[in-house]
Amino acid sequence: MLKTETPSERDTELDQYDSARLLSVLIDDQLGAVAAVRRALPALTKAVDAALPRIEAGGRLLYAGAGTSGRLGVLDSVELHPTFSWPRERAVAVLAGGESAMFVAVEGAEDDETQGAADVQALQPGPSDVLLALAASGGTPYVLGALHAARTAGALAIGFANNADAPVLAAAEIGVLLDTGAEVISGSTRLKAGSAQKMALNSFSSALMVRLGKVYGNLMVDLKATNAKLVRRAVALTMRAAEVDEAQARAVLEQCGYHVKTAVVALRLGVDVASATQALTLAGGRVRAALAARAE
């Protein structure tokens, strides 16, 4: 039996606990997710370093999964645009059962290996693309089909699974084992197995975006200011990064469509928005490199 499916030897009378004890057990068990992701650090590092040159060459991040794993892939792909201004067309997720499975469980869809392959083939993957194949069990047919299709097309395939020796790990070019073990509620991989997958995906994609120059220092300077909250955040980030007051920050942000990177370079170099844009372009979109180039 898979470790994620094996009944836990602890808390065998879980249904008898009062609410406080029940919640305490459920929360404390999540610490196992953190430990599992920490153990996966070497594999995650290898994955980021292998993905980086492909993404720099114009490749896409493709996600494939079923159930909770698939929904976590969708979540990661969707959040890259507002957080890092990552083009929507370069972060694409496929989910067993189609888009409706995001909201209504389509349990049988995960058994269709042919459909997994077809869904990825429809994206026309190529050698610059990176597929993140997600399966808690590590043997989901839909995910295996997606993975094989991606590798056949020459894409980098990274497999995430919560069981050692899982087919998804073996079939991937890089396997990321998130060994979370038995769940408090036996077999419910939406618990710490799911938490570990979300943590690993967040860490992978965020590290990749930092390496791509989407962050200056530790500031999220490439966000999309698409609502009032994000406009306020853009102002605050510009004030901090450029060391200016609110009026100065807003004045320049209004000239560049609230693009924080451009505002920061313009303010720190004392140049207009057009010159800041040019400096960023020459520096590959990296704020620190743009500032250093002008200082030389």
Does residue 110 have an active-site annotation? yes
List the catalytic residue out of 5, 56, 99, 110. Answer: 110
CA angle 296/52/83 to nearest 5° reads 85
d(CA 30, CA 27): 5
List the catalytic residue out of 9, 79, 113, 173. Answer: 79
d(CA 103, CA 71): 9
Q: Which residues are catalytic?
A: 79, 110
